[in-house]
Structures are given as structure tokens and as C-alpha cells.
Amino acid sequence: MEVKEQISSKTIKVVQFETYPGSGTHLLLDCLKILKVPHIPIGLLIRALLVSKKSSKQLSSDDLGIENKQLFEKLYAAMPDQLDDKSLFNDFLKIMTEYLGSLNFDSAVIVQPHVSFVQELKYEDRIIEWAHKDIVDYHNIIKWSVDEIGGEHKTIAFCRSPIDLISSKNSRFKRGRYGIETEIKQLSSFVNFISSNKLEVFKYEDLCMHPAQKIAKLIQLLNVKGVEKEHVLSAINFSTIGINKVHGLSKEEKKEVVAQVGDITGMLNYDIKEINSPLYFMRKTIDIFIWEFQESNKFLLDGDFSNDAAISRHKKTFFCRVYQYILKMFFKKARLNANKFSKG
């Protein structure tokens, strides 16, 4: 029996989440991991193929960060020069069908990489312009690949309030080369893509504020069997500390950002809330301390690494760094757990 016939005998669902850096994607990934939903690693692969085709000199799989070098080379050789005609992809899709069949899944997600906005991609000493046509080609090839195995394909945008997103990234990268102007330009490109394609929006804020409801939706959307939403709710300490952020932007920066992202904020159906109350600032800061205290105990004392987003992505406050230092100083298991996590 052909691989395609074997796959087509099952009902396959593939949900492709369109994400933007800083949107809280790691929280979504943590939830999907606990739900035991497999991730199809073809997003990075297809982007790498398109980038290599664009380059004046073919980039190697090492340059592009591709682990499955043999698959990359086979697909690259089968990829036509004209990318907007599906009929030219017959050989390419045969190889992709064989590969997807080997993964043996009933439902899966494609989450990475962040591709749906115009940007500059840097590889070694080269800069590749990732343009609107590349985004269209990328999505076409993903859809054609899923269609070829008889799968049901759905694209959903995972979004976060533009103001909170920029506040969060500015807080993390301000001492580096983070540029707010470039961020707003790229973020606008992402939101325009969502709007022009009329994608369903799954909000980071809704996952934080209404986790039971949103986890139930993920279970239904992906036909998850054998894992209840309560398992996710007990594993992850959902928090609203990343909503209506009071840290990350100065008053002047926030005023400037609010003025520039008003349109895209409205396109995503977010309200612009400027809360300057000292009491709100104090309450928000206390909430952060409490959440960091709980997560530090869970991570270092219990050895629970379920919420990777809280461990590796969150920028720790001074209080958190001191508290974790004390735990590791006085508790051997805290030192062992920290070392275990760092080794992956």
C-alpha cells in the first residue's frame, strides 16, 4: 500500500499557529507538550529551503540550522524554480508525503518558526530579505504538503497585545540592540497578514485569564485523547502578570508606542489601557513577586519543569534572583534541579 493511502485512511488534523516573537508562544508550547500533541518540524525546514533558493549562493543545512540534512538536500533538489504552481511540486510532495508518513500522527501542530512578517534574516555574513511573496510561498507549501496526505489544515494566529509585547521585549533586550521602531514595523506587517487573511485569533491574554476554557478549546481543536484539561491546569501556574504590563517602557516610550500601534491594536480587538495609578503599580509588582516565589519553589524544590516559559523566558526580578540563590545555597536538591534543567 502506498504511503499516501496509509495516511489518508486516518483522520488527520494539522493546526498551524502563526506567531510573533514575544507573544508568549512558549506558554502555548508548554500547554501543547503537556497535552502530548506532536509538533511537525517542517516549518523551519520549508523556510530554510526558500531562503536557500533566494540566496545567490546555496546555503548549507548547517548555515540554516537544519538537523535532517538528508531530507533537506532531497527536497532542495526537487524544489522547482517557479514556486506558485502546485503542479510543479509533484516530486517535492512525494518526498514530503513519505517523510510525514514516517511520523505517524493523528493530529499535530506547526508552531515554529516566526515567518509571517517582512523581515531581514541573517545567516553568517549574509542578510536575506524575507518578503511578502516568501510568506505566501511558505504557507502554500505547508498547505500543499498537508493536503497531499489527506490532512485537514487550519491556520490560527496566536497574538498578544502589541503594547505588552513591546514592553516585554524592551525589558529583556534594552541593554542590547533592541529597536522599538523596527519592532513596530515588523509587528505591523504580522498583524496586516493576519487581517488580510482573516485568520482566527487565539489570544495569549485569554489563555492566561481563562485557561480552563482555552485548554478545552485546544483539546477539541486537536482531537486530544487521554489527557484532561485539569492535567494542564495543575501543571502550569497560569498568571496575568504579563497583561497590562507596568514595567518595560518609560512613560515617554510608552506614549510613543501607544501612538504608533493604535491601528494594529484595534485590528486585533485590543483596548489601549494606560493605567498610571501607583496602587495598581504596587499591586502588579506584588503579583509578580508572588508568582516568582511559587515558580521558584516548583522548579528548584519540586523539580517540576513543566512550565519552561516561566523558567527560561521570564526576566527575573532582583527579588527572584536573590530568592533562587538562597534556595540553591541551603538546599542540595535545588542545586541538583537547577543543574538538571541547564543540561536539558
pLDDT digits (tens, 9 = 90+) for 167-195: 888 887 765 556 888 999 999 999 999 99
Domain with CATH 3.40.50.300 in the chain: 11-235
The pLDDT assigned to 249 comes to 85
Task: Report whether pLDDT(220) > 90.
Answer: yes
Q: Which of the four pLDDT bands, split at 50, 70 and 90, describes residue 276? A: low
pLDDT one-digit tens code per residue, 194-217 = 999 999 999 999 999 999 999 999
pLDDT one-digit tens code per residue, 41-77 = 899 999 999 998 888 666 777 878 888 999 999 999 9
- What does pTM read for this prediction? 0.86
Contact 319, 292 (CB under 8 A): yes
Answer yes or no: CATH 3.40.50.300 is held by domain 11-235: yes
pLDDT one-digit tens code per residue, 21-39 = 999 999 999 999 999 999 9
